[in-house]
Structure 1
Amino acid sequence: MRGHKALKSQRPRSQALHVLALQARGVSQAAPGRAGSSRWGRVGVRAPPLTRGGPGEPEPRLRPWGGNSPCPGPGPGSETRRNIVLSNPKKRNALSLAMLKSLQSDILHDADSNDLKVIIISAEGPVFSSGHDLKELTEEQGRDYHAEVFQTCSKVMMHIRNHPVPVIAMVNGLATAAGCQLVASCDIAVASDKSSFATPGVNIGLFCSTPGVALARAVPRKVALEMLFTGEPISAQEALLHGLLSKVVPEAELQEETMRIARKIASLSRPVVSLGKATFYKQLPQDLGTAYYLTSQAMVDNLALRDGQEGITAFLQKRKPVWSHEPA
């Protein structure tokens, strides 16, 4: 947000960062770990267990917001939002094995907690992510290590798809290869107008086959194949036109617009949103009849939720609903 004074930390620059921020009345419920102050209240930092990557790969560390990192802003009905920041700009936020494992840990942490309503993934520096760390893909690392890199990356993307809460990508810069895959895998993607996207692996002899999985499910087939066959980037406006992005805004408005969407989602019933997300992806590959059958059953299940009835009752009584967030 404009005017926000970023937290300063004495910790080394990390590869991935995870912040749980509770804006409600400036109260923090931080787990053991370092905590700092911000204009929005207390900010707690949890340090989940991380796994060391390949040879010579430093273990990722987690730290409070700093530098040009985005900061969650306040708002009516604000709930818990998890902000995950790719924080290795000197290496163009490459998705090393260590980074991927850190990202996986942060995404899965307390996934079933009713306090968690939305996740935002962003990055420091001019590159959102350049994709895999090519130093890990040399012959010296070996086939087994290569397999672990791609399998871990695939798991991260599937965790996003299967996560019970919406995951938003906030992009301000270049996203290539697995970085583009990460954007395509998120439920919502908001980007600045200076952002661009590419799957350039073919230019160095490594076809972007795994990024193509997410890309093909986000944009039309011919658009995906042109990106994969040529490696040429597309602009943010082109990405919006083809469905890779939800919105494109001026850079100065990126954080504000992303947080507006996050606050709106966070103000709603978690079990209703969670059921809706799961149902949407479940029906997507089905034929029309099966899709309507699945979604009809889901709407019946939705009505059985306490919040399903609360919302209807509140509407009929012309009042705002009071969500319990009770699961089925």
Structure 2
Amino acid sequence: MTAQIEKELSSNGVLRLTLNNPQRRNALSQAMIGALHQAITDASISSDVKVVVLSGNGPAFSAGHDLKEITAARSNDDKGRAFFTSLMSQCAAMMTAIVNCPKPVIAEIDGIATAAGCQLVASCDLAYASDTSRFATPGVNIGLFCSTPMVALSRNVSSKHAMEMLLTGDMLSAADAERMGLINRVTESTSLKALTQEVADKIAAKSSLTLAIGKEAFYRQQEMNLPKAYAYTSEVMVNNMLTEDGEEGISAFVEKRPPVWRNQ
């Protein structure tokens, strides 16, 4: 059986995870969700991995949940309730694992990213797309509001933009997705991988410890009010300054030399 996820690790620590079920448009089936969750978990604890890039084989980044799998579950005695509950729980845990991963996770989109596939893009720390890519939360068109994709989407774009996507189900161009803040940058398909790799390489050259500290603090402070956010991040800064890499980075800057990171 073909692997749901292809893995490729570069010498500088950039791990490329490629969704690999193009025949099903890289749908987030239970198998795909499980494979991706495991890959993110493994990357989180691997000292060899500095940055994760997430892409998709074929014409779709991901078309969202596997509707054929969902339809098949309706024949169960409970009309699918247990399966649907398990599927949503597993998907939420996988999306949360991306946010909680101490390594930066970059989405590379060359094709459509719809419903839970759009949620996957929004869950990543950075996102770059080809100019032919398209984005949507179209559940409303089939009587199924994209409630779980809404969680990640509404944490990336303004409320008005999120609600427009959720209420209309319309497909957005890559240019519109960039304008709204869902993705960082748009480029030609032939240049996409090079752009993503350039950004990943730049990040991989930083202190892994510093990146982990910063990523965790970024998401934690978002849910705090202003005084709590400043109190929390002030403590984070103090602890960061006391790390070996914090001391090395400042010393290297003052001494006008490249830093040597120990990730400690």
The two structures have a TM-score, normalised by structure 2, of 0.95
1:112: Cα distance to partner? 2.5
8 Å contact kept, 1:136–1:146: no
What does residue range 29-40 of structure 1 map to in structure 2 within 5 Å?
none
Percent sequence identity over aligned pairs:
48
The whole-number CA distance in structure 1 between the counterparts of 2:186 and 2:138 is: 22
Q: Work out whether 1:140 is the aligned partner of 2:63.
A: no
Q: Tell me the secondary structure at the aligned position of residue 119 of structure 1.
A: strand
Query: Which amino acid in the other structure matches residue 317 of structure 1?
Result: E
Residue 101 of structure 1, aligned match among 24, 30, 34: 34
The whole-number CA distance in structure 1 between the counterparts of 2:32 and 2:102 is: 22
Which deviations, in whole Å up to 9, do the C-alpha atoms of 1:192-247 show, x marking residues without a partner?
11111001111111111100111111111111111111110111111111110011
Structure 1 unaligned blocks of 5 or more: 1-11, 24-78
2:112 is matched with 174
Which deviations, in whole Å up to 9, do the C-alpha atoms of 1:157-205 show, x marking residues without a partner?
1001111010000000110000000000000001011111001111111
1:232 is matched with 170
What is the CA RMSD across the aligned residues, in angstroms?
1.1
1:263 is matched with 201
The whole-number CA distance in structure 1 between the counterparts of 2:232 and 2:19 is: 37
2:6 is matched with 17
Structure 2 unaligned blocks of 5 or more: none
Q: Tell me the secondary structure at the aligned position of residue 111 of structure 1.
A: helix
Q: Tell me the secondary structure at the aligned position of residue 94 of structure 1.
A: coil
8 Å contact kept, 1:118–1:167: yes
User: Which has more helix, going by share of residues?
Assistant: 2
Query: Which amino acid in the other structure matches residue 148 of structure 2?
Result: T
The whole-number CA distance in structure 1 between the counterparts of 2:218 and 2:3 is: 35
Residue 198 of structure 1, aligned match among 121, 132, 136: 136
The whole-number CA distance in structure 2 between the counterparts of 1:247 and 1:110 is: 25
The two structures have a TM-score, normalised by structure 1, of 0.77
Greater shift, 137-146 or 214-223, is seen at 137-146
8 Å contact kept, 1:114–1:325: no
The whole-number CA distance in structure 2 between the counterparts of 1:183 and 1:269 is: 25
Query: Which amino acid in the other structure matches residue 193 of structure 1?
Result: D
Q: Work out whether 1:252 is the aligned partner of 2:190.
A: yes
Q: Tell me the secondary structure at the aligned position of residue 61 of structure 2.
A: strand
Return structure 1 stretches of 4+ with deviation > 6 angstroms.
Answer: none
8 Å contact kept, 1:194–1:251: yes
Query: Which amino acid in the other structure matches residue 87 of structure 1?
Result: N
The whole-number CA distance in structure 2 between the counterparts of 1:323 and 1:15 is: 35
The whole-number CA distance in structure 2 between the counterparts of 1:246 and 1:153 is: 24
Report the number of matched residues. Answer: 259
1:18: Cα distance to partner? 2.1
The whole-number CA distance in structure 1 between the counterparts of 2:232 and 2:8 is: 36
1:17: Cα distance to partner? 1.6
The whole-number CA distance in structure 1 between the counterparts of 2:85 and 2:14 is: 33
Query: Which amino acid in the other structure matches residue 128 of structure 1?
Result: F
Residue 181 of structure 2, aligned match among 243, 261, 269: 243
1:154 is matched with 92
1:99: Cα distance to partner? 0.5
The whole-number CA distance in structure 2 between the counterparts of 1:224 and 1:88 is: 28
The whole-number CA distance in structure 2 between the counterparts of 1:264 and 1:114 is: 18
The higher-RCO structure (CA 8 Å, 6+ apart) is 2
Q: Tell me the secondary structure at the aligned position of residue 6 of structure 2.
A: strand
Q: Work out whether 1:187 is the aligned partner of 2:120.
A: no
The whole-number CA distance in structure 2 between the counterparts of 1:208 and 1:104 is: 21
Query: Which amino acid in the other structure matches residue 279 of structure 1?
Result: A
1:110: Cα distance to partner? 4.5
1:282 is matched with 220
1:90 is matched with 23
Q: Tell me the secondary structure at the aligned position of residue 122 of structure 1.
A: strand
